[in-house]
Chains A and B, each alone.
Chain A
């Protein structure tokens, strides 16, 4: 048993470092940027100035549609449409690019709701206090509201990231040789499905545990002002 593990481990760890982790990290960063933008578009009330108001409302309509679309369809189907479907209208994407696009859009849709609800959970009192001191809306967001919202959003966003690491296994279905796909290939040769898939599970668990640890560290760092925290 040990020799099987020792011979297959380098290949699996390699696939993890080459595909699983880059896919998760790149998609999460892009997804997060998309999520913040989408959340702000839905959160900030349109100005009364007509020249800005209507384009802004259109943008908001697009944001709503995007979030609805990606939350109401399965991730696997989204990946299939992007990778296998789009070529029929002439859009041929490399598998890795298609996967990044799919994972980013999917993560962005969910995370935008997390961030929006975190923004909403900062009390109106904080806006009042900032406005009475003559902060602009942008200054209030940047200095007062977003820092508080980030702390609130951190645990659910960490959840999304951990979920994303595991979901990268779906990329195997669009031809990417990520870690799970490699474990399947090795199984086809050595006929040890229990061992190989358990090994894959263990590798996911190790990465996700490291991420949980990182989450606790960040939570601690950002919570130093919260009542009851000893920092």
Chain B
């Protein structure tokens, strides 16, 4: 389990995360929801030290990091070792082939042998239905293919948690479905995931728990069923807001 406690993050004096405490259980899919600008990405990126909160802590059963104090190289490595991020725009390395994108971190960071890393990468590509694309460059692939490859890249370092920040927001509906199917499969296999998404249907389908954030405050933290079936007035507003947006 990941336990985040009293996370505070400010940008230019403006509080973006206001004393947030939240748990993300292991082996489960947690979904973070909330309006645009509410602080979802900031919270997720704090987990991987892409954002450094002013204070608060994050702990795993065997690792604890206090954001307010200097973080040693070793702790930062251990923290990043436990998580791996999938980005909205996938952020593949354009100068590397598909295969090299996936094997770069295992070879460079984990010192896996090239042969083992490539074997693993091919098996991951097969699982996402993209075998045969090893030698291509990212620019030669569709967004949906690139996002599936970036999921392989994240899985290749065997993190405990995969963090996904709006993984399908930049995709057409058809391509979105390809990616969501893979995430659903990962969820069913018990991969620990934390997903930020605007897709309510998907959230409802895969989430074991929902965290709802608004203006940097945690407004809901509980079961998926409760969130969708007994919404508070504010959540009801949010859900209808989303569906109205979808109709426009």
Contact = CB atoms under 8 A, between A and B. Distances in A.
B83 A143 contact: no
Interface residues of A, number: 21
A125 interface: yes
A226 interface: yes
Contacts of B49: 131
A129 B45 CA distance: 11
Given A143-B108, A224-B137, A225-B138, A133 B157 contact: yes
Contacts of A143: 104, 108
B139 A129 contact: no
A97 B80 CA distance: 50
Interface string A210-231: 0000000000000011110000
Contacts of A133: 80, 84, 104-105, 109, 153-154, 157
Contact of A139 (B83, B109, B137, B154): B109
A190 interface: no
Given A139-B108, A143-B108, A225-B137, A126 B89 contact: no
A134 B157 contact: yes
A135 B109 CA distance: 6
A128 B108 contact: no
Nearest to A139: B108
Contacts of B163: 132
A13 B155 CA distance: 60
Interface residues of B, number: 31
B77 A128 contact: no
A224 B140 CA distance: 10
Nearest to A226: B139
Most buried by B among A133, A134, A147, A148: A133
Interface string A126-167: 101111111100010001100110010000000000000000
A134 to B, nearest CB: 5
B184 interface: no
A134 B105 contact: yes
B228 interface: no
A132 B89 contact: no
A174 to B, nearest CB: 42
Contacts of A3: none
A132 B48 contact: yes
B70 interface: yes
Contact of A135 (B48, B108, B137): B108
8 closest residue pairs by CB, A with B: A133-B105, A129-B91, A225-B137, A227-B139, A132-B85, A125-B91, A134-B80, A134-B109
13 contacts: A125-B87, A125-B89, A125-B91, A126-B91, A128-B50, A128-B91, A129-B91, A131-B50, A132-B85, A133-B109, A143-B104, A148-B94, A227-B139
Interface of B: 45, 48-50, 70, 77, 80-81, 83-85, 87, 89, 91-96, 104-105, 108-109, 137-140, 153-154, 157, 163
Interface of A: 48, 125-126, 128-135, 139, 143-144, 147-148, 151, 224-227
